[in-house]
Chain A
Amino acid sequence: MNLGRRLLISVPYGWLVVLFLIPFLIVFKISLSDYAISIPPYTPTLDTSEGWSGFAAYWSKLDFENFVFLAEDSLYIKAYLSSFKIATIATFLTLLVGFPFAYAIANAPEEWRPSLLLLVILPFWTSFLIRVYALIGILSNEGFLNQFLMWTGVISEPLVIMNTNAAVYIGIVYTYLPFMVLPIYSTLEKLDGSLLEAAQDLGCTRISAFWSVTVHLAKPGVIAGCFLVFIPALGEFVIPSLLGGSRTLMIGKVLWEEFFSNRDWPVASAVAIILLLVLIIPIVLFQRNEQKQREQNK
């Protein structure tokens, strides 16, 4: 490999080292320290004036105590499991909504497709936080949805949606929908229409041709979309804290509370480290899927 290529590759690697690996190591180091009422709120801190013996003393005080604590206190395990459950259900719901979206766009007349795609991406032009706040206005007891349903006479009492898991699901489905629609659309758009005709020619009805060809070939897009929704949803903090209720237990929220309410940086860091490790599994799976797809397209 020549120097120019090395230099080119070193730029993204350098970026990752400075903005991902180093912060990760700092957080990891904090997760090994102990809580203290001081600034910064943890101990030990490295005293460079004492030289080598200071470093040795510092090193000996680091331990995995916080991780043991996380394993012993059922709150954290429950929060992880609950996050996992909510993220899974929300991903599935996003898929249910997103697939027909993608399918409809891919089958729309070609000159319409860019505009339809733009409409899917359009909400991104507004701040994420503002969109979630807007949902409060729609979902709350006096919100537009309840007003509309009561006006049409479908319900007489307002539905309680705000501060429940349902609101969290609605929030996730709404905000992450483009991440599901775009990868599925890109696989469906490439689909050769004659494949469906061939399936019908060989004995499939329209519906079975859809299942055995369209759905099968959309699989890489579906998997990509699911990971793109699942990964951020698992660590989601804004949506459960704004739309969810006190009973909505998500690890992102726990993390926030440890950091800012309890000011227990070491435990919060440990929570973050575990979350990262849990997330690495789907990310690795996702990348393997991508790799497989690339090889297939060769």
Chain B
Amino acid sequence: MNTAAPFEPWTDETATPLIEFSNVTKRYGEFTAIDQVDLKIYPKEFFALLGPSGCGKTTLMRMLGGFETVTEGTITIDGVDMKGIPPNKRAVNMMFQSYALFPHLTVADNLAFGLKRSNMPKSEIDGRVEEMLRLVQLQKFAHRKPHQMSGGQRQRVALARALAKAPKLLLLDEPLGALDKKLRQETQFELMDIQEKTGTTFVIVTHDQEEAMTVASRIAVMDHGKLKQVDTPDRVYEVPNSVYVADFIGDVNIIEGQVTKVQGDTAELLWGEGKPSIRGMAGNNLSSQTSGAFAVRPEKVAIFTEEPADRHNRVTGMVEDIAYLGNMSTYYVRLENGALIKSQVANDRRIAHRSITWNDTVWLSWTDTAGIVLAS
């Protein structure tokens, strides 16, 4: 059994970050792309920048690569202020979204491109190229041109080229965006494997939350140039700090109402006149007697044909729709007040044995710790 301490340098006050953003702002004219970002990324982390398009995640990453200047604030990499240092003078390499492979060079020459421009002795370059080809399992393709390869192979060449100079930090701009879903899932594990093997710090930009959850040690959820939450994938999912994050990551039911009670870890939310309040975990900085929202994941909402009298959180409604996804079904239940609540149930029986169907009156219920009450 693995008894080593979990990899959590961000919880260690004494750990030195590899990258530090202090109060970084980037403006394009009137438009603020990055708004006062403070962020620390630690060595050997696999850090994901996640957000919708236009949220500033790519800009933040390009600042690390030296392709964008900083309007205000400082970025340090390994303790050195990066102000005015061009891309070619940084121990940082980037894997581009378009891969940016040089079309006139063979795979081996693409990999050697950066090495030839470093102070690596000529005699060692071939060996290093060979090593990188082995890392991405493309030894047989050394003499192919990029256009003679498939998308997945090109992606691996781009990764190998970016890693060839053994950078301290590797930036990946939507590295799997151009691959189909199956290949993307396989490649995610390959990426993690390579990251572990090389011990390089990875910063990945993605809009695919599943991808971020799979590969990353920590995720930064961004919106409008601000970091909304920086946390481990499980905490971002289970303990979102805002309705935005809860809504952006995965599927969620949001019930709005009035926070009536905050006591330690738990809080209660009144969501309809004369209805019992909903009980859930208390979110960050939650105070009583303010408006709030209750967020609960569909898979944590159970569905019953009869009232589960032993549970505190229970609501009733009518099944409006059923989405059959094969391995699971999602029931869309319309409550009396008009709210639509999703309940996701694993199909551990054949569909013929399903007891709930359209227009049935059902009860939905969840435990006291299943959801979270957030300030809105």
Q: Do A and B come from one complex?
A: yes
A residues apposed to B, CB below 8 Å? 192, 194-195, 197-206, 208, 212-213, 216-217, 219, 296-298
Whether B94 pairs with A198 at a CB distance below 8 angstroms is yes
For B93, the chain A residues whose CB sits under 8 A away are 201-202
Whether B117 pairs with A194 at a CB distance below 8 angstroms is no
Instruction: Give the distance to chain B from A216, nearest Cβ to Cβ, in Å.
Output: 5
Whether B98 pairs with A192 at a CB distance below 8 angstroms is yes
For chain B, give the interface size range. 20 to 34
Task: Say whether chain B's binding surface is mostly helix, strand, loop, or mixed.
Answer: loop
B residues apposed to A, CB below 8 Å? 65-67, 86-88, 92-94, 96-98, 100-104, 113-114, 117-118, 145, 147, 161-162, 165
For A198, the chain B residues whose CB sits under 8 A away are 94, 96, 100-102
Whether A192 pairs with B114 at a CB distance below 8 angstroms is no
Instruction: Give the distance to chain A from B245, nearest Cβ to Cβ, in Å.
Output: 31
For A201, the chain B residues whose CB sits under 8 A away are 65, 87-88, 92-94, 114, 162
Q: Point out which of B66, B100, B113 has the most chain A C-beta atoms below 10 A from its C-beta.
A: B100
Bound complex: CA A192 to CA B102 (Å): 10
Whether B114 pairs with A298 at a CB distance below 8 angstroms is no
Bound complex: CA A192 to CA B66 (Å): 18
A-B contact count (CB 8 A): 63
Whether A197 pairs with B67 at a CB distance below 8 angstroms is yes
Whether B117 pairs with A204 at a CB distance below 8 angstroms is yes
Whether B147 pairs with A296 at a CB distance below 8 angstroms is yes
Whether A202 pairs with B86 at a CB distance below 8 angstroms is no
For A192, the chain B residues whose CB sits under 8 A away are 98, 100
Whether B88 pairs with A200 at a CB distance below 8 angstroms is yes
For B101, the chain A residues whose CB sits under 8 A away are 198
Whether B96 pairs with A194 at a CB distance below 8 angstroms is yes
For A296, the chain B residues whose CB sits under 8 A away are 103, 145, 147
For A200, the chain B residues whose CB sits under 8 A away are 66, 86-88
For B104, the chain A residues whose CB sits under 8 A away are 216-217, 219
Pairs A–B under 8 Å by Cβ, sample size 24: A192-B100, A194-B98, A195-B100, A197-B65, A197-B100, A198-B94, A198-B100, A199-B113, A201-B65, A201-B87, A201-B88, A201-B162, A203-B88, A203-B114, A203-B117, A203-B118, A205-B88, A213-B102, A216-B102, A217-B103, A296-B145, A296-B147, A297-B147, A298-B147
Bound complex: CA A202 to CA B165 (Å): 8
For A195, the chain B residues whose CB sits under 8 A away are 100, 102
Bound complex: CA A297 to CA B93 (Å): 28
Whether B117 pairs with A197 at a CB distance below 8 angstroms is no
Bound complex: CA A66 to CA B161 (Å): 63
Q: Nearest CB to that of B113 among chain A residues? A: A202
- In the A-B complex, the 6 residue pairs with the smallest Cβ-Cβ separation, listed nearest first, are A202-B114, A203-B117, A198-B100, A194-B100, A200-B87, A194-B96
For B98, the chain A residues whose CB sits under 8 A away are 192, 194
For A219, the chain B residues whose CB sits under 8 A away are 104
Bound complex: CA A197 to CA B102 (Å): 11
For A298, the chain B residues whose CB sits under 8 A away are 147
Bound complex: CA A192 to CA B156 (Å): 19
- Known A-B contacts: A197-B87, A219-B104, A296-B103. Give 7 more (CB < 8 A): A197-B67, A199-B102, A202-B113, A202-B161, A203-B88, A296-B147, A298-B147
